[in-house]
Structures are given as C-alpha cells and as structure tokens.
A and B are shown apart, each in its own frame.
Chain A
C-alpha cells in the first residue's frame, strides 16, 4: 500500500483508465492486479455501486462499479471492461472500469492538487493536448 500523497508530491507512475468520458488514474503501487470481468456474486441489500463479491485467488473480494460509485449512469460491461484490484492496508478491493488505458509517468509539475480534502479525487494531471486525468484516492473510493 502506497500513499497517494507520495505520488502527488513526488510524481511517479499512474495507471490510467476510463469510466464514461472521463480519464482516471491510480498510483501504480496501489494496484495489485488487473483482471477480466469475473463472475460476481451479488451481496443482498447492498447498494447498486457494490457489484458484489468475486473469487480472487481464493479470497472473497468486493467489487465496486466505478461509474456508479462516482454517480455516473450505469452501462453494460463489454469485452474491454475489466476489474482493477487495488490494495488498501492489505485489504483488497476490485474496481470495475470501462477500460484500462496506459501506465504513464507524471511529475509533480503536471499535478494540480484538489482543494477538496476528503474527496475521492485527490488531484488532476493536466497536460497540453492530452485528456485530463483525475487521480483517485483508493481508500476513499473503496470504503463504503
């Protein structure tokens, strides 16, 4: 588990992906796996953004839908949809995204810190000629 603040302060590698029209990124050290859409077992009574549980290497790992988590409209999963497994204090959580794009190296000069303290987005990578990337805080995102 790496602190996303490290990335914002010192720069580093970012795993970028999309949900809807937006580009998002996780600090690469927070990511433990990227997998195809698995079989998901729904958890009764859970809110819609909690997709359910997947069997990830013998562990029951919760899967959240990024679109619904961020308040966007639901869209059916397709062949390019996948689950990014992130690790928060040794606890794993899967985040279903539309597609994974790239691993990019960003420097602190590219990053604009978010003024919101406890939001799910901690900062933005803004570069000329490229889409804006919102850096997500895995801890805020995964905690329900």
Chain B
C-alpha cells in the first residue's frame, strides 16, 4: 500500500465537487436550523398550552431519535405517502430540522437571559408583542448565542457524510464512489479526512473570534 500522487490529482476535481456540495448543504441546513429553531423556541414559550406542549414533545421526539433514521424516513418513507423530495432537499430538511431542536435550546437560554425589565419597558412604551421581540428582545438575546450557534454549525458540517446514505453526492459519497470504482481507499479517505480537518480548524479559529467578539455580552 503506497500513496499515489497521480491518483490524488485524478480524483481531486471530483472530491472538490463533493466538498462544494458539503459546504452548500451545511449553509442551507444552518439557515433552516437557525430559522426553525427560533420558531420552535418561541412556540415552546407560548402561553397557549396547545402550542407549547406539542412543540416540546416534537423537540424531544426529534432529539431522541438518530439523524440517520430521520433522513431515511424523510427520503425513503415519505414517498409512500406521496411526498417525494430530491436527495438534497430531503437532506437539508432533515439536518435543519434535527439541529433546529438544538438551536431552539440555545435561543431559549438567550431569551431567558434578557431581563424582565426589558419586557416591561417595551410594554410601558406601548410596543406590540412582535415589536418587542424584533426591536428589544432578539437584538439583545442574539449576540451571546452566537458562539453556541457556531458550535452547532461545525457539528452540522461534520455530520454531512450521513447524507451519503440518502444518495446525496457530498464529499464522503464522492470519495466512496471513486474509491469503489478504483479499488483504492487510502487516498480518497485520507483526503476526506484532511478536508474536514482543515475546514474544522478554520471554523474553530472563526469560533474563537466570535467568542471574543460577542461572548462578552453574556453576563
């Protein structure tokens, strides 16, 4: 078993294609997780039990089951009831939904961190509830959450290989297919590992910067 640079050069374009898709999936899923997480967090806080309780149950259910099972369900089971999704869409929904239940928890902590006096000042100045959220609560709650949210972004990035199970041609799946067709695993798998390592290290640097920049706002 020896390292073949010529083979590396040959498979590099394919792997880079996969890497591009991996990054794209991460970004799209992050948007879904960030947006949906906020909806879940607000719904779970609702004073209306008919909204709050089912939301809490949904969050527990999604957290209590593996992401891989959820992906299979979305991609292979939903078509049985007539919902057919392209692999990429299914993957983004699955990842986004799964991580939304975690970001919801980050939001909850951030929202509860905003002092009661801020809600009261908003009401005393006659802001409506949506205005209070948009102009008073979220702008204060968000900065301290950024490091925790970035942490989940990195975790999400490293989970993207799961999407190879539902035929998304992300980095891992591309590497597997070139490896299988050439009967050489060492270069593709090493490169996949190296790509993830480099991206993770870069993200950690970004994360440290975010923590320095925003973390201090959390008292």
Q: Are both chains from one complex?
A: no
